[in-house]
Amino acid sequence: MTALPTAPISAVFSPLGDHAVTVTVGDSIDETTHRRVRAISAALDAREIAGIVDQVPAFASLVVHYAPERVGGDPAESPYQRLVGMLTQVLAHVGDETLPAPRTTEIPVCYGGDLGPDLEDVARQHAMTPRDVIDIHTAGDYLVYMVGFMPGFAYLGGLDERLVTPRRTSPRTAVPAGTVGIGGQQTGVYPLVSPGGWNLIGQTPLRIFDVNRDEPALLATGDHVRFRAISLAEFTAWRTP
Amino acid sequence: MAHTVTLRIVTGGLQTTVQDLGRIGQQRSGIPVCGAMDRLALRIGNMLVGNDDGAASLEASLVGPAITFEQPALIALTGGDLEATINGTEVPAWHAISVPAGTTLRAGQPRVGCRSYIAVGGGIDVPLVFGSRSTYLRAQFGGYEGRALRSGDVLVPGVPSARSGRIADALRESGAAAVPARWSVSSSLRPRYSDDPVVRLIAGAHYDLLDDESRDQLGAGTFRISASSDRMGYRLSGVTLSLRKPVELLSEGVAFGTVQLPPGGEPIVLMADHQTTGGYPRLGEVASIDLPLVAQLKPGDRLRFRLVSVEEAQQLFLAQERELALAQFGIALRHPRGTT
């Protein structure tokens, strides 16, 4: 268990249409803001508030999706006003919550070759060897700030400044699922085959997203991630049942 | 009377998918809600055939399918008008229809709107994926093998409710051919589809970032639905909007109906298969009550926006919910237990 901010969290509420509300707690990507978002998310999970159907934690905000017809309270007020009233009460006590200890997930990656066609190019751009890129990438401790954009896609923070690499000028039309890339200050793993403009440095044999699992997304907001280099033989063995 | 009904797809049409009210509660894993584009049409179709209003139905887009019902079935067509015929005869939308074995339903080109819903007594029975039968085309899961229907596919509905059985029995008493019911839901519940609607919009988080002229344009301009529009979103063209100054925003949650402004200045309306998060400025969200009007727009159609408050949008939505509940009650009264 980790301690949480004890001061009440100040938040701004704004309607996201008539079925959702955005709760904004900051305007930057940093761990303090991230922990506030997680604390609110955990607090909402712990209480069953009538009408809330879904929530989407992000870098500095959390969207609460709700069914207006199921929100309790004084019918003289709109469902939006009533829900904001309830959320305000929850936020006043969020300092009392405890966050679950973060999970750390290790992601094996076969770097370079056909699985990471841009590894050498990234190394060249930073005047280092491909081995250096792998060493720096696997040394990092990454934090999942949020999941979104596509099923199971984790936005990771913590990329070493030495590996910050601009996106490719012409995106690829189909990047295979499991491909590990660097795009600007971000690094991450494509959960599904999709178009992509990141520099592709390797591939994991793990399924980042699998609709047949109880937890389809391997990574959740708040998780820590480490990458570990594996050989092509290990990668192939992993994929062979 | 229990029997297994099978639906044989003769032709799939342009894009016919299994849809319900969507996959709720998985957005934090990045899984979109999906479900019917026109949720009101799906719900009314289900009510007409005695289903729960969230049962899975078929959503046909632009060019409809041809489907043979190999056993007698109770069906209803709602939503856009795709010139549907049964064994060659045009059939009314928004009515329950009892169809005999061997009936072929053919949907054609859009006359009004572009998405038609085919509800079947018992609902379309495909495996639940995270609580929903809706098809997510992009990641290829849910619905019928995660894809649009095509020739040769066979669908099996679930077990019809007792009410569905009573509705079907009452219609079959009146003849052997396809029989539409004489009753329906109140016409005030049916959306007034148009190829040039005024759509109510709730101002969004970044509405105030628009420059003065763009704010006027958003309320007064006529937007055209561009060709690159699909179940994920509609690109609008014809009016270019700009912000007072450029902004860098952090990605965060978005909603069905969010109007985003990408750097090019032509807005995008997020639709049923929208991504769970987005990073473009959000000008507003379409009021839920008007989402069916947007869902029925096809490339080339137009729309205008009119701003409303979230309170007014919710009042309109709640009033519609009450009317739907009354309609459901009316159908139940018409088919009481112990009658056929």
Is A54 near chain B, with CB under 8 Å? yes
Q: Tell me what pLDDT residue A93 has.
A: 85
Is B104 near chain A, with CB under 8 Å? no
Asked whether B331 and B323 are in contact (CB, 8 A), the reply is no
* Domains of chain A and CATH, by start: 12-96 (3.30.1360.40), 104-239 (2.40.100.10)
Which residues fall within 8 angstroms of residue B270, CB to CB, at 6 or more apart?
Answer: B232, B233, B254, B255, B256, B257, B258, B259, B260, B278
Could you give the CA distance from residue B278 to residue B175 in angstroms, rounded to a whole number?
54
Q: Tell me what pLDDT residue B37 has.
A: 98
- Respond yes or no on whether ipTM tops 0.90: yes
Q: Tell me what pLDDT residue A240 has.
A: 76
CB atoms < 10 A from the CB of B158, how many?
Answer: 18
pLDDT surpassing 60 at residue A2: no
Is B248 near chain A, with CB under 8 Å? no
Helices (H), A52-178: 79-92, 119-125, 130-139
Token output for B217: 């344009």
What are the phi and psi torsion angles at A207 (to 5°)? -90, 110
C-alpha separations of A16 from B24, B75, B313 in Å: 17, 36, 12
C-alpha separations of B187 from B42, B44, B97, B322 in Å: 16, 11, 18, 15
C-alpha separations of A214 from A149, A217, B35 in Å: 20, 9, 21
Provide the 3-class DSSP secondary structure of residue A40: helix
Token output for B255: 């909603």
Q: Tell me what pLDDT residue B1 has.
A: 44
Is B255 near chain A, with CB under 8 Å? yes
Is B258 near chain A, with CB under 8 Å? yes
CB distance A150–B275 less than 8 Å? yes
Chain B residues lying within 8 Å of A153, measured CB to CB: 30
Average pLDDT, chain A: 92
Output the tens digit of pLDDT for each of chain B's 340 residues: 445 679 999 999 999 999 999 999 999 999 999 999 999 999 999 999 999 999 999 999 999 999 999 999 999 999 999 899 998 899 999 999 999 999 999 998 889 999 999 999 999 999 999 999 999 999 999 999 999 999 999 999 999 999 999 999 999 887 667 888 989 998 899 999 999 999 999 999 999 999 999 999 999 999 999 998 999 999 999 999 999 998 889 999 999 999 999 989 999 999 999 999 998 999 999 999 999 999 999 999 999 999 999 999 999 999 999 999 999 999 999 998 875 5
Residue B43: DSSP 8-state: H
CB distance B29–A220 less than 8 Å? yes
Could you give the CA distance from residue B268 to residue B261 in angstroms, rounded to a whole number?
6
In DSSP terms, B44 is beta-bridged to: none
Chain B residue with CA closest to A37: the answer is B252
Q: Pick from B32, B139, B288: which is nearest to A18 by CB? A: B288
Q: Tell me what pLDDT residue B176 has.
A: 65
Q: How big is the CA angle at B252 (ends B248 and B254), to the nearest 5 degrees? A: 115
In DSSP terms, B105 is beta-bridged to: B67, B86
Distance from CA of A127 to the nearest CA of B (A): 30
- Chain B contacts in chain A segment 156-185 (CB below 8 A): none
Q: Are strands B258-260 and B112-120 parallel, antiparallel or unpaired?
A: unpaired
Candidates B247, B251, B316: best to mutate against A (most CBs of A within 10 A) is B251
Domain boundaries, chain B: 7-191, 198-308
Is B4 near chain A, with CB under 8 Å? no
Return the CATH fold of B198-308.
Cyclophilin (2.40.100)
pTM of the shown model: 0.94
